[in-house]
Structure 1
Amino acid sequence: MARVRAWCGAAALAVGLGIALLCGASVAGADPGVESEPGSAAVSGVARGSDDTGPSKPTQGVSRGRPGIAAAEGDAAAEDDADVLVETPAPRHVKTAAARTSSNPGEAVVDALLGAAQAFLPEPKIPDGSRVTLGRSTLEIPCGCEGTRVDATWYFPNQDTEPDGLIYLQHGFFRDNRAMSALAVDLSERTNSVVVTPTLSSNFLTPSGCWINGEPMQQAVAALFEGDRRALTASAFAAGYATTLPRRYVLSGHSAGGGLAVAVAVANGDDENLAGVVMFDGVTTTAERMSAALSVLPPRVQVLQIAAPPSPWNADGATTAALIAARPNEFVGVLLVNGTHIDAEGASSDALARLFVGVPTPANVEAVPAIAGQWISTLLAGGRVVGAPAHPVPGATAVPLQYGPPGPSRQPSRSFVPQG
C-alpha cells in the first residue's frame, strides 16, 4: 500500500504540475533551453572551458589550476584542448535528456509533463562571498545502445588546498539538477569537495530503462567510477576543471536520487575509493529493494539518511525503516523534527513543490548541509560516523533513528521512531 500511495502521490503531483504549468508556461516547457553546443561549458564568473566534451585522454598528472581555467600556462597537453579564455555568464539550463524526441506517445506525454513540472526551478547561483565556482557541461553515461548524454553542473571549492573528495549528488524524481544547486554549493564549501549534479530522466516509460529508477541507469552511473573515470574527467574538464579529480568519493542523493546512490554503491561495493552513502530523505522503489541492497553491501560502506517524518512523498518512510532494520546495531542517520521531504532542496526548490509537499522551516533547510557536511568530511577522511548534533543549528532538532513498533496506521513502513 505504501508503494501504491507513493506512486499515486507522484502521479497527482505530475498531473497537478502539468495542468498548472502547461497552461501558464507552455513556452518555457517547450524550450529545450540549450544555448550552447552539446559538450560545451561555461563557468559562472570565471573563464570558459573547452568546447569539446573533454580532453582526448584523462587529465592525469596535470598541474592544479584554479577551477574555470582550461589549462595552466605551459601545460602543452591542456593548452591544445583549451579555448581562448574569456569572461562569460553562466548559460541557461541545458535540458539534454528532456529535449529528446520520442516515437512513443506515452513517453512523449511524460516528457512534456517533466518539462512543465521543472519549468519554474530557479537557475543555480553562487551566493555572495562564496569561493565555490560553478561550471556546466555534459556527461556521457553508458546507458542504452548509444549511451546517454545528460546535463551536468559542477561545483568546485576553489580553495588553496587540493579537494578532499568528489561528491556525486543526484536530484529526486520529477526534478532536475537545478533543485540540488543550493545544497551542492554548501557541501562543496563545507567539505572542500568537487560536487557533480547530473540531470537524469524521470521518464519511467523510457524503453531502454535509462531513467533514475531504472536498473540500466543505476549500473551505468556505477560504471562512471570504474577505471580512469574517463567520462567524469572529460565532463569536469569541459566545465573548467583542469586537474585530476579526487579519487575518493561519496554517493548522495535526494528522494529517488538517494535510492540510486544506494544501488550504485552496491555495484561499486568493492571499490576502496567509495567512502560512503548519504541520502536526503532517500527513497527506493520498494522497501524490499533497499533491504536486498543492504544485504549485499559490505558493512564497511556506511549508508546514512537525513529523514523527514513518514509521508506519501517518502513512501511512508519505508526506505528509512528498511535501512534501520537492516543495520539495527549501528548509527544510520537522523530524523529532522517537523521536517519535509524537500528540506534538502532549500533555496533551489520552487513554489509548486512547496505547495504540494509543504514549506520547509529555515532552520531545517540550514540543518541539512550542516549535518551532511560533517558526515561527508568524516567519511572522506576514512572515519566512521557515529552520530549527529541534537541541535545542528538553532531551531532545528535532529534525533537518531531506531527501529520501533508499528505506528497507528498499522503500516510496517511506519515502524521507525526517533530515539529519545
Structure 2
Amino acid sequence: MQADWYFPEDADESTRLIYFQHGFLASGPIYSYTIAHLAERTDSIIVAPSLSSNFFSPSAEWVGGSTVQRAVADLFVGDRAALTESASAAAGYDVSLPEKFVLVGHSAGGTLVTSVAGFLADNGAIADLQGIVILDGVEPAGSPFVSSALSKLRGADYRPIYLISSDRYFWSRNGDMADKLQLARPEDFNGVNLVGGRHIDYMLGGNKIIQFAEYLTAGFSKPQNIDAAEILMAGWVNDLFSGTQSQGVYGSPGEQISIPTPAGTADAVVLPLGYPARPVWNPVLEAVLTAIFDFGGRNWFVYEPLPGHGVPVGGQAIRACAVSSCFR
C-alpha cells in the first residue's frame, strides 16, 4: 500500500509518531493540509497510508475489512521493520521512529484505528499506544469491529478515545459512533460535538476542485469549525502523549464550550450527542440513503475474508510515496 509521510524539519527525541487513516472513498493526499497542520502542532512524524475502498473484496482487503486492520496492527509489532523501511525511503535517509504513537482516523478510518487498537491488544503491541482520536467516525451497518475493540480496551489495555462528532445526519450515520462510545464508556469524557459540524470539517487538501466536490457531497463546513477541529485534535494528541489534560478541550456531559479560532468562535457540546435544532438534510432523503447504505453494510460489504480467500497478514509492507512532506 502507498503511504505519505510528514516529517519535522528538525526531529529530535521529543518528536512523536502518529498513524493517520483516511475514510471511505478517500486517500491520504486529500488530507494533506489537515495532516501537515496536525504534524506541526504536535511535533510529530505522521504516516498516512492510502487504502482500498473496494468493499466487495473477497479477502476483506479494504479500509473497512479485518484483513487490513490486522495488517496495520502488525506494523507495530517487534522492530516495526516495514514502517521503518517506508519512512526511510520517503525521507531519503535512515529514520529511527519514535516508540510511542497515537492513532487518528476520519470516518471509516475512525473505525479502522479503533479496531486496530483492539488487534494491538491481541498481538501484544498495545503498550506503546497512547490513545485514539476519531474524526467523525463512521462504522457501516453490520460491522462488528468497534464493539469488539471497545470490549478489549479495558483494564491494563484501556486507552483514551476522543471523538469529534458532526451533527447527527446521514454522513455520520446519525451519530452512531458517538452513541457506541457513550454506551461503552458512560463515565468517561468521550469527546465533543461541533455544533453545525459537517463530515468534511477534517478533510483539507490542496486540490480546490476535490475540496469543492467534498463540500457538495457532505455539506459546506463552517470556517470556524474547521479551525476548531484542528485545535481539538492537536490538543488531545499532545495530552495523550504527555499523559495530561492541559492542552486539550474537556468538560462535563452536555457542557457547552466556546472555542476561539481565527475564523470566529466555534461552539461545541461535550458528548453524549444531542440532536440539532432542525434536520441537517431533508428527512425523506436521509431515510432513503440510510436504508440503502445500511442494507449494503449488512448484506454486501465484506468485513471478514470469504471462505478460501484469506490472506496472510504478518510481514506485509507499506510502500513509501515518492514525495514526503516536511514542515517548519
TM-score normalised according to structure 1 size: 0.58
Q: How many residues align?
A: 262
From 185, 200, 213, the equivalent of 1:352 is 213
Contact 2:115 2:148 survives alignment (8 Å): no
From 178, 186, 191, the equivalent of 1:328 is 186
SS in 2 for 1:334: strand
Trace 1:194-209 onto structure 2 (pairs within 5 A): 194-209=45-60
- With over 3 angstroms needed to count, the CA separation of the structure-2 counterparts of 1:153 and 1:347, relative to structure 1, is closer
2:37 aligned with 1:186, yes or no? yes
- In 1, Cα distance between the equivalents of 2:114 and 2:271? 18
2:250 aligned with 1:387, yes or no? yes
- With over 3 angstroms needed to count, the CA separation of the structure-2 counterparts of 1:310 and 1:404, relative to structure 1, is closer
Identity of aligned residues (%): 39
Q: CA deviation at 1:403?
A: 6.0
From 163, 166, 190, the equivalent of 1:308 is 166
Q: CA deviation at 1:294?
A: 1.0
Aligned partner letter, 2:154: P
Q: Which residue of 1 aligns with 2:297?
A: none
In structure 1, stretches of 5+ residues that fail to align are 1-149, 414-420
Q: Which residue of 2 aligns with 1:374?
A: 235
Bigger radius of gyration among the two? 1
Superimposed CA distance per residue, residues 66-90 of structure 1 (whole angstroms, 9 cap, x where no aligned partner): xxxxxxxxxxxxxxxxxxxxxxxxx
- In 2, Cα distance between the equivalents of 1:322 and 1:339? 19
In structure 2, stretches of 5+ residues that fail to align are 252-256, 291-328
Shift >6 Å, 4+ stretches = none
Q: CA deviation at 1:160?
A: 6.0
Contact 2:35 2:46 survives alignment (8 Å): yes
- In 2, Cα distance between the equivalents of 1:321 and 1:398? 17
SS in 2 for 1:318: helix
SS in 2 for 1:397: strand
- In 2, Cα distance between the equivalents of 1:383 and 1:206? 41
Q: CA deviation at 1:398?
A: 1.8
SS in 1 for 2:250: coil
| Larger RCO of the pair (alpha carbons < 8 Å, separation 6+) | 2
Aligned partner letter, 2:265: G
Q: CA deviation at 1:308?
A: 0.2
Superimposed CA distance per residue, residues 285-342 of structure 1 (whole angstroms, 9 cap, x where no aligned partner): 2486423321221253011101101111111111111111111111000111111001
- In 2, Cα distance between the equivalents of 1:215 and 1:163? 33
SS in 2 for 1:162: coil
SS in 1 for 2:103: strand
- In 1, Cα distance between the equivalents of 2:120 and 2:11? 31
TM-score normalised according to structure 2 size: 0.74
SS in 2 for 1:346: coil
Contact 1:253 1:278 survives alignment (8 Å): yes
- With over 3 angstroms needed to count, the CA separation of the structure-2 counterparts of 1:403 and 1:343, relative to structure 1, is closer
2:44 aligned with 1:174, yes or no? no
Trace 1:83-162 onto structure 2 (pairs within 5 A): 150-159=1-10, 161-162=12-13
Aligned partner letter, 1:296: K
Contact 1:288 1:322 survives alignment (8 Å): no
- In 2, Cα distance between the equivalents of 1:229 and 1:215? 20
SS in 2 for 1:402: coil
Contact 1:164 1:380 survives alignment (8 Å): no
SS in 1 for 2:76: coil
- With over 3 angstroms needed to count, the CA separation of the structure-2 counterparts of 1:347 and 1:263, relative to structure 1, is same
